[in-house]
């Protein structure tokens, strides 16, 4: 009799967990991208208009909140790693072979901007104003322009570093982070730099970690997070003066961290894994996406309370709680 009770309770528990996973998966909708390539980044220009970039120069545009996507033409043929909007019509994309593209009509047409280094990959671009931009390069350089891309200066360089992204804290851009990895094949290290003078000079952050930083986001003016390989997440509560490693319940490489408020945030990663927090990262709950693809990037649309996620195999997901 005792064994029967135990088995019954186990069955109820298993069913409840399965129901919770199924409910989570039902909140994700797979959108028809029309492509099978890797999609690396996404940005929304309005609640209905968005641009996605990816492998082999892929640029996709939607005007109906992701229900349909149209492929856009450009001069890019190598992977486009980042897409960043300056305003509702002006958007930049960057990637392999020194590709730096600009659109002023919301993504319908794209123009190439000359860049001085055609080797490696431009991993990210950040804007301080209309004419002052920063670009993070895969081969350890940070470039800055103050004339809208007509000329560029190297403001940070280390041969053994490679950058994967940048992050500007707050609307006032009080601090700028550039992140990635470095070291040698046998002795890896973190590459995490910061600037407080609009990117003119850079200081390496004192973080003890030996893996590449994959993404960064701040939930408030002082509280931020960065992700890394092998289930690594760090948190700061003092604008990066100190970073503390936090634990998550899923073992994967996290590709993106995205906070939508001071308490609510998401992590997306390899193998279709995603987790969610509603207490500022103190605890996390796994979400069932129904996918096995690597999920590289997320974008949240507050007006529709919808999270969009892109990844490998042309994956574009939308999520509503």
The secondary structure of 217-282 as a DSSP string is EESSSS-EEEEETTTEEEEESSTTSS-EEE--SS-S-EEEEEESSSS-EEEEEGGGEEEEESSTTS
Is residue 25 in a domain?
no
Over residues 136-144, the mean pLDDT reads 95
Q: Residues near 44 by Cβ (< 8 Å), separated by ≥ 6?
A: 50, 85, 299, 301, 308
Task: Give me the pLDDT at residue 240, please.
Answer: 94
pLDDT > 70: percent of the chain: 90
pLDDT band at 20 (very low <50, low <70, confident <90, very high): very low
Task: Give me the pLDDT at residue 25, please.
Answer: 54
Over residues 35-59, the mean pLDDT reads 98
Is residue 178 in a domain?
yes
Q: What is the CATH number of the domain that holds 196?
A: 2.130.10.10
Is residue 21 in a domain?
no
pTM: 0.90
- Domain containing 247: what range? 31-319
| Alpha-carbon distances, residue 283 vs 183, 234, 240, 278, 314 (angstroms) | 32, 13, 21, 8, 31
Task: Give me the pLDDT at residue 174, please.
Answer: 82
pLDDT in tens, 74-93: 999 999 999 999 999 999 99
Is residue 276 in a domain?
yes
Structural domains counted in the chain: 1
pLDDT in tens, 158-182: 988 999 999 999 876 789 999 999 8
Is residue 197 in a domain?
yes
């Amino acid at each position: 009799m005792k064994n029967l009770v135990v088995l019954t309770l186990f069955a109820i528990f298993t069913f409840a967990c399965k129901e919770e996973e199924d409910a989570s998966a039902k909140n994700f909708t797979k959108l028809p991208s029309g492509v099978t390539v890797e999609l690396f980044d996404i940005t929304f220009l309005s609640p209905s208009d968005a641009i996605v970039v990816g492998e082999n120069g892929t640029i996709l545009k939607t005007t109906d909140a992701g229900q349909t996507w149209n492929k856009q033409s450009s001069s890019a043929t190598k992977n486009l790693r980042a897409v960043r909007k300056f305003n509702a019509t002006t958007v930049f994309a960057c990637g392999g072979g020194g590709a730096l593209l600009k659109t002023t009509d919301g993504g319908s047409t794209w123009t190439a901007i000359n860049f001085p280094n055609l080797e490696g990959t431009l991993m990210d671009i950040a804007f301080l104003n209309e004419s002052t931009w920063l670009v993070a390069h895969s081969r350890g350089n940070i470039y800055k322009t103050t004339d809208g891309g007509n000329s560029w200066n190297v403001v940070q360089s280390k041969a053994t570093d490679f950058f994967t992204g940048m992050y500007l804290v707050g609307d006032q851009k009080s601090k700028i982070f550039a992140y990635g990895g470095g070291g040698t094949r046998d002795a890896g290290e973190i590459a995490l730099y910061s600037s407080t003078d609009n990117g003119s000079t850079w200081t390496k952050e004192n973080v003890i970690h030996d893996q590449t930083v994959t993404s960064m986001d701040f939930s408030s003016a002082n509280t931020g997070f960065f992700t890394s390989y092998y289930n690594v997440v760090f948190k700061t509560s003092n604008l990066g003066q100190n970073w503390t490693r936090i634990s998550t319940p899923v073992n994967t490489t996290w590709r993106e961290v995205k906070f939508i408020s001071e308490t609510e945030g998401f992590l997306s990663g390899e193998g279709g894994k995603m987790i969610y927090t509603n207490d500022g990262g103190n605890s996390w709950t796994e979400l069932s996406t129904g996918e096995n693809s690597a999920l590289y990037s997320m974008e949240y649309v507050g007006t529709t309370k919808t999270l969009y996620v892109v990844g490998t195999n042309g994956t574009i997901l939308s999520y509503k709680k």
